[in-house]
Amino acid sequence: MKNIESQNIPKLDGNFDKDLLQKAAKDFGTPLYVYDLDRIQERYAQMKAAFGGRKTMICYALKANSNLSVIKKLASLESGADCVSLGEIQRAILAGIPKYKIIYSGVGKQAFEIQEALRIGILFINVESKEEMLLVESCAQELGVPARISIRVNPDIDPQTHPYISTGLKENKFGVSIEEAKGMYLLAHHSKYLEPIGIHFHIGSQLTKLKPIAESARKIAQLAHSLLALKIEIKFFDIGGGIGITYSDETTINPYDYAQAILEELRGLDLTIICEPGRFIVGNSGVFLTKVLYQKMHQNKRFVIVDGAMNDLIRPSFYDAYHQIVPLNTESQELSSADVVGPICESGDYLGKNISLPSLQNGEVLAVLSAGAYGFSMASNYNSRPRCAEVAVENGAIRLVRKRECIEDLIVLEKDYL
Ligand code: LLP
């Protein structure tokens, strides 16, 4: 047992204060996601400002958090959208992102999805293989409109992040090699139905080192130079997303250094930079609230059983990711190590392992920090658990932005088939 004062007690991220979170939990119940829209605005502004006067478009990666109110907030700040499905494109449009600021990425797009994207008239489709490019061409031909495309190039650089979220190595499924890309650009250049206007790379997520990003940008910039020399008039240099955030004590990349490193590699290239941050914008802007149900000791091991589970926040179970967990009522001074576990029938169902916590009361609310990215967007109905509610805080006011699912929502698509 240690004295709480001597510990590095995590601060609540964003502008959240404990009273506000207590109120959110009381008014909307738990488990619950809470997003700080003011913080989201700040993070967006930081990224935008980092690129200064340079022609830049921030295309927020919806996969990190696709709540409509979050996207709407970003739309109001003039963000574009990086989407990976028709569902995300629909969300972007519904939330007010103009179609000419939407890009469509992903390795497995099908004809009906490509046709719909072309019909909508989004900015461009990021193609990830020659076969996909040929499918885009035939879809465009059918519709009688040329398709604007960008090619995702795999720079074969180790991003030095978790292997599950590393995407820029040749053994990863993403993009095509520089050599293959050259051939594809030439093909596209001579096609009546393809308009190659961009070049794209994205090497991974939760990146905390600048060097691999700069090296990738250098390789891709060289390719861009050679394309322009061939009169292939690309206009967009899409650097993907991936900037990491602090979950624990990670040193992260400063957006300004990030922008400088990219701009350095782009000297002599008059291209609009597209940047696709997800986690950087929303990660530290959200917390997940969960209530203590029971507590028990197994031998010497302390378990805190809460009402939130891996279906709500899968990152700890899936990536062994660490999220700080803070009790909202820290009157107790004694700390001991505990596993914070959910009600799901799996040993891997935990929100935190060996977390230092004071003694807790059942019913007390814990805040799981930095849960704004890849939290709700990766939530499932495993164990037939309704997905939790989401609320947003803006100018000190809290409002519901997604209501809690109910059992009826879970069975509605099946019950007529009994
Ligand atoms: N652009 C592309 C092409 C991507 O694949 C991704 C993320 C992003 C942008 C946004 O990356 P961010 O800025 O958020 O790092 N579920 C994992 C993260 C998967 C990221 C997938 N791609 C996690 O919870 O850590």
- Tell how far the Cα of 62 is from the centroid of ligand 1, in angstroms: 9
Question: Known binder of ligand: residue 279?
Answer: yes
Smallest CA-to-CA distance from 196 within 184, 205, 206 is with 184
Question: Known binder of ligand: residue 53?
Answer: no
* Tens-place pLDDT, residues 383-401: 999 999 999 999 989 999 9
pLDDT band at 334 (very low <50, low <70, confident <90, very high): confident
Count Cβ atoms within 10 A of the Cβ of residue 165 and give its class: 0-12 exposed, 13-18 middle, 19 or more buried.
middle
Please check whether residue 136 is in contact with residue 194, taking contact to mean a CB–CB distance below 8 angstroms. yes
Q: Name the average pLDDT for the chain.
A: 94
CA 373 – CA 412 distance, rounded (Å): 28
Q: What are phi and psi of 40, to 5 degrees?
A: -60, -40
Mean pLDDT of the region 140-165: 89
174 DSSP assignment: S
Question: Known binder of ligand: residue 152?
Answer: no
Catalytic residues: 345
Smallest CA-to-CA distance from 203 within 176, 236, 241, 238 is with 241
Count Cβ atoms within 10 A of the Cβ of residue 25 and give its class: 0-12 exposed, 13-18 middle, 19 or more buried.
buried
* Tens-place pLDDT, residues 155-198: 988 877 777 766 766 777 788 999 999 999 999 999 999 999 99
Smallest CA-to-CA distance from 223 within 190, 249, 196 is with 196
We find that the CATH architecture of domain 18-35+284-415 is Beta Barrel (2.40)
Position 66 scores a pLDDT of 98
Peptide bond just before 31 cis, omega within 30 deg: yes
Q: Which residues sit with their C-beta closer than 6 Å to ligand 1?
A: 61, 63-64, 82, 105, 165, 202, 205-206, 240-243, 276-280, 315, 319, 373-374, 378
Position 8 scores a pLDDT of 44
* Tens-place pLDDT, residues 72-123: 999 999 999 999 999 999 999 999 999 999 999 999 999 999 999 999 999 9
Q: What are phi and psi of 94, to 5 degrees?
A: -60, -35
Instruction: Decide if pLDDT at 127 tops 80.
Output: yes
Which residues make Cβ contacts (< 8 Å) with residue 121, sequence separation at least 6? 99, 100
The amino acid at residue 300 is N
Question: Known binder of ligand: residue 137?
Answer: no
Other beta carbons within 10 Å of 27: 11
- Tell how far the Cα of 121 is from the centroid of ligand 1, in angstroms: 24
pLDDT band at 403 (very low <50, low <70, confident <90, very high): very high
CA 402 – CA 399 distance, rounded (Å): 9
Atom of ligand 1 nearest to the CA of 374: 24
Please check whether residue 394 is in contact with residue 37, taking contact to mean a CB–CB distance below 8 angstroms. yes
Catalogue the long-range contacts made by 268-272 (C-beta closer than 8 Å, 24 or more residues apart). 268/225, 269/221, 269/224, 269/225, 269/228, 269/237, 271/55, 271/224, 271/234, 271/235, 271/236, 271/237, 272/55, 272/56, 272/57, 272/235, 272/236, 272/237
Count Cβ atoms within 10 A of the Cβ of residue 365 and give its class: 0-12 exposed, 13-18 middle, 19 or more buried.
buried
pLDDT band at 13 (very low <50, low <70, confident <90, very high): low
Position 332 scores a pLDDT of 66
- Tell how far the Cα of 418 is from the centroid of ligand 1, in angstroms: 39
Position 173 scores a pLDDT of 78
Position 161 scores a pLDDT of 73
* Tens-place pLDDT, residues 309-324: 999 999 999 999 999 9
Position 160 scores a pLDDT of 77
Instruction: Decide if pLDDT at 5 tops 60.
Output: no
- Coil, strand, or helix at residue 135? helix
Position 329 scores a pLDDT of 87
pLDDT band at 6 (very low <50, low <70, confident <90, very high): very low
Which position has the token pair 């990224």? Answer: 47
Higher-pLDDT residue of 162 and 408 is: 408
Closest CA to ligand 1's atom 23: 374
CATH 3.20.20.10 residue ranges for the chain: 105-277
- Tell how far the Cα of 285 is from the centroid of ligand 1, in angstroms: 16
pLDDT band at 409 (very low <50, low <70, confident <90, very high): very high
Please check whether residue 316 is in contact with residue 374, taking contact to mean a CB–CB distance below 8 angstroms. no
CA 408 – CA 296 distance, rounded (Å): 33
CA 113 – CA 137 distance, rounded (Å): 13
Please check whether residue 391 is in contact with residue 401, taking contact to mean a CB–CB distance below 8 angstroms. yes
Position 11 scores a pLDDT of 55
CATH 2.40.37.10 residue ranges for the chain: 18-35+284-415
Position 197 scores a pLDDT of 98
Position 168 scores a pLDDT of 66
Which residues make Cβ contacts (< 8 Å) with residue 369, sequence separation at least 6? 10, 12, 13, 247, 284, 287, 323, 324, 325, 326
- Coil, strand, or helix at residue 95? coil
Position 166 scores a pLDDT of 67
Mean pLDDT of the region 335-348: 96
CA 274 – CA 227 distance, rounded (Å): 18
Mean pLDDT of the region 361-377: 97
Q: Which CATH class is domain 105-277?
A: alpha beta
For the record, the structure tokens of 42 come out as 């700040």
Please check whether residue 312 is in contact with residue 402, taking contact to mean a CB–CB distance below 8 angstroms. no
pLDDT band at 126 (very low <50, low <70, confident <90, very high): very high
Instruction: Decide if pLDDT at 9 tops 60.
Output: no
